[in-house]
Structure 1
Amino acid sequence: MCGRFNLRITAADLKSLFGTTEQGIRSNPQEFDSCLTRFNIAPTQKSIVCHLGESDTPVLTPMRWGLIPSWAKDLRIGAKMINARSETVAEKPSFRSAFKRRRCLVPASGFYEWKRSGKEKQPFHIHQTDDSPFAMAGLWELLKQSGGPDRDEPAEILSFTILTAAANSFMSPIHDRMPVILSGESAAVWLDHEVEASALSELIQPFEWENFEAVPISSTVNNARNETPECLAPLS
């Protein structure tokens, strides 16, 4: 699975990564900027997502991590749907509609995974060797809520999930699942509304990765409230 990640990027580089200059109309500058440097993004928190806007051009919008289906009655369901398995995403009721119409890319500079050794779990920071950002395949949803102005949650909630696949040879010594990472033409095809969902299965297979490394780090990252560069510090 992918249960924690980080993003450390400038707005200009983020827009360049996805070939867009637009920010989603539902985001505000302060919220957008607050998502650009995050060391420990956890479920239910917001991060930036790239998706196609109304004019079918890529836009960047902060969304809540943990997909909340449009039919959900309880927002807590999102905490259980931070990942979607690529093997079953086309059939699962919670994901199949988004898989057909609302695919997205989730930028990251790295993600965290824990390797179990006996009763202990050692956290690893998995990132590209040059620390450049990459894009994970995702799905997004829009939940429209009814109710008066005094409700705690906003009337509209945008949320996302990250697709995972069986671990490749790089990840299998650490964990049996990994996020689906897309780039170049594959990333563009994933976003394209004209591509039928049935033609996407080849994109979300457990391909081998190049230029990635897994660095053992301290337990600082274990606590989601820790939001500092120390989350990335390698074990001495």
Structure 2
Amino acid sequence: MCGRYASTKNPATLAAEFDAEDATEDAIPGPDYNVAPTRNVVAVVQRHPRDEDGEQDMSRTERTLRVMRWGLVPAWAKDASGAAKMINARSESAATKPAFRTSMASRRCILPADGWFEWQRDGKVKQPFFTTRKDGASLAMAGLWTVWRDKEKPDSEPLISCAVLTMPSVDQLTEIHDRMPVLLPPSVWNDWLDPDRKDATELIVPPSEEFLAALELRPVSTAVNSVRNNGPELLERVSGQDESALFDLNK
């Protein structure tokens, strides 16, 4: 699963990295070192643009950065109260689950992340780890998004929300947790974001050995356990403890 991640780059940097236009309109408050469910996050989407009358131009697409709430609220939901329970979607079943199948067919996105947190349990002790790229490049987590409208308040703003797709963990990542985000290499970004592609399941594959070799898994402070804590120190490798007792995930 993916229950917490970090997203600290500003929209201009992300727009350049993902070849997208920044449409966040300053809705992101700033770097978030401890992204928690129901917070606003940046997502990369690709859609057919609309003219002044709302008609789509099917001859072209535009890739933009958008702000969404993490925790998908299906369009048919009576209210938005269940968002915190819908932060992840299992890639094995997303195409058939009522909550995700429409999004899987036509509303896929990328959720840029510096990395994600997961906890390794050793008896009663839970050691947090941060998985990130060694070169500082963003991880492209596969995501799904949708639009929910409050039928009781038809004049209210629609809620745009999203979920992270997950898959079984691979290689030494299994030492931390049995699930991990679906990570998309740049070579498949165009296909994944294509709004006209109805079946993208073949793009969901385990990371290559080369991709895995570019990752660093570092033990970090248990301060990340509290969503109230939010700062660059949460991403730093812990010191002052016996790391030999931890799994050697970078061997």
Distance in 2 (alpha carbons) for counterparts of 1:12 and 1:22:
7
Cα 1:54–1:144 change in 2 (3 A) is farther
CA offset digits 1:164-195 (Å, max 9, x no partner): 01001031111101001112221111001222
Q: Residues 55-204 of structure 1 correspond to what in structure 2 (within 5 A)?
A: 55=49, 56-148=61-153, 154-197=156-199, 200-204=200-204
Is contact 2:22-2:66 (8 Å) kept?
no
1:211 aligns with 2:214: yes
Distance in 1 (alpha carbons) for counterparts of 2:225 and 2:78:
30
Gap runs ≥5 in structure 2: 50-60, 240-251
1:28 aligns with 2:31: no
Is contact 2:11-2:22 (8 Å) kept?
no
Gap runs ≥5 in structure 1: none
Could you tell me which amino acid in structure 2 is paired with residue 57 of structure 1? E
Distance in 2 (alpha carbons) for counterparts of 1:21 and 1:98:
22
Distance in 2 (alpha carbons) for counterparts of 1:183 and 1:13:
18
Is contact 1:146-1:155 (8 Å) kept?
no
1:7 aligns with 2:7: yes
1:43 aligns with 2:45: no
Distance in 2 (alpha carbons) for counterparts of 1:207 and 1:189:
17
For residue 79 of structure 1, report the CA deviation from its aligned partner.
Answer: 0.9
Distance in 1 (alpha carbons) for counterparts of 2:147 and 2:22:
19
Q: CA RMSD in A?
A: 1.7
Structure 2 SS opposite 1:145: coil
Is contact 2:20-2:44 (8 Å) kept?
no
In the superposition, the TM-score normalised over structure 2's length comes to 0.85
Same amino acid, percent of matched pairs: 39
Moved over 6 A (4+): none
In the superposition, the TM-score normalised over structure 1's length comes to 0.90
Distance in 1 (alpha carbons) for counterparts of 2:161 and 2:228:
21
Is contact 1:140-1:159 (8 Å) kept?
yes
Distance in 1 (alpha carbons) for counterparts of 2:233 and 2:196:
43
Structure 2 SS opposite 1:125: strand
For residue 146 of structure 1, report the CA deviation from its aligned partner.
Answer: 3.3
Structure 1 SS opposite 2:102: helix
For residue 148 of structure 1, report the CA deviation from its aligned partner.
Answer: 4.9
Distance in 2 (alpha carbons) for counterparts of 1:93 and 1:11:
32
CA offset digits 1:110-157 (Å, max 9, x no partner): 1100001111110001100122212110000111113459x9xx5310
Distance in 2 (alpha carbons) for counterparts of 1:74 and 1:196:
28
Structure of greater Rg? 2
Distance in 1 (alpha carbons) for counterparts of 2:185 and 2:19:
12
